């Protein structure tokens, strides 16, 4: 189990934090594992401590589109606060890592027991709505290159490393574009010395320059999280 902690759990008072963790079990997140299926009944909530999960929507049999990403800053299953017991998206582990996992009935009781937890999950849920709204606008109005730079920054943040595993095929899937478009955009970033990509392993070489090329949605996501969750 990672020695890192989930940021939402860290925001709770010590006694609340201890009580919540006692109700959880450690869970290893394996690359490409599906930890939630859209429309299926939610069985667990997850508080990642390392690695990250992509939230994917698939419509009319078309390739999926990533509408959100969850790492140690958040959780999977916040919608249970609203009484929504089925998953609204497919949750796929894109960055291997670890998490705390809790059975849904146990989490529901924890919400009843703790006003602080209810308020925290509610604030995170408000952020999730904002993130979904930004994702829709980003996909519609921003070009592939800036969107790719934004996605790489978000992945680097959650991987907590300059290097992480990703394929062009998966990037195209996540960004909702053809693979050739991602290949061209990634090649340009590599030509400029911002990243290096070999055999599915990507390394960010110049984060500051990558940030400069990213669309405004990266900073917007960070700002909204700080405003709503912190």
184 and 101 in one domain?
A: no
Query: Measured between alpha carbons, how far is 208 from 153 in angstroms, rounded to an integer?
Result: 10
220 domain-assigned: no
Q: What is the pLDDT of residues 86-116, one digit of tens each?
A: 999 999 999 999 999 999 999 999 999 999 9
30 domain-assigned: yes
**Domain count within the chain:** 2
Q: What is the pLDDT of residues 15-69, one digit of tens each?
A: 999 999 999 999 999 998 999 999 999 999 999 999 999 999 887 766 678 888 9
Per this entry, what is the length of the chain? 230
227 domain-assigned: no
149 and 109 in one domain?
A: no
Q: For position 162, which CATH number holds? A: 1.10.10.10
Across the range 109-138, mean pLDDT stands at: 94
Across the range 104-132, mean pLDDT stands at: 96
Across the range 148-154, mean pLDDT stands at: 94
Q: Is the dihedral of CA 122, 68, 106, 8 positive or negative?
A: negative
Pairing of strands 163-165, 90-103: unpaired
110 and 11 in one domain?
A: yes
Specify the pTM: 0.92
The residues that bridge with 92 in the sheet, in sequence order, are: 34, 54
Q: What is the pLDDT of residues 177-220, one digit of tens each?
A: 888 888 899 999 999 999 998 888 899 999 999 999 999 999 99
Q: What percent of the chain has pLDDT over 70?
A: 97
């Amino acid at each position: 189990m990672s020695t890192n902690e989930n940021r939402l759990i860290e925001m709770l008072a010590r006694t609340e934090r201890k009580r919540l963790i006692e109700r959880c079990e450690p869970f290893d997140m394996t690359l490409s594992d599906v930890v939630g299926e859209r429309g299926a009944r939610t069985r667990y909530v997850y508080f990642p401590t390392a690695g990250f999960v992509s939230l994917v929507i698939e419509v009319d049999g078309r390739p999926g589109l990533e509408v959100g990403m969850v790492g140690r800053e958040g959780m999977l299953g916040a919608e249970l606060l609203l009484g929504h017991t089925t998953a609204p998206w497919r949750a796929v582990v894109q960055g291997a890592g670890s998490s705390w996992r809790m059975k849904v009935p146990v989490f529901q009781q924890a919400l009843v027991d703790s006003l602080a937890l209810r308020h925290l999950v509610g604030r995170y849920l408000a952020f999730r709505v904002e993130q979904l709204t930004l994702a829709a606008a980003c996909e519609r109005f921003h070009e592939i290159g800036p969107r790719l730079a934004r996605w790489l920054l978000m992945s680097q943040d959650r991987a907590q490393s300059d290097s992480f595993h990703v394929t062009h095929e998966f990037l195209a899937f996540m960004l909702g574009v053809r693979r050739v478009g991602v290949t061209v955009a990634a090649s340009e970033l590599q030509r400029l010395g911002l990243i290096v990509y070999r055999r599915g392993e990507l390394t960010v070489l110049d984060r500051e320059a990558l940030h400069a090329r990213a669309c405004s949605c990266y900073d917007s996501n960070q700002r909204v999280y700080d405003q709503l969750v912190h």
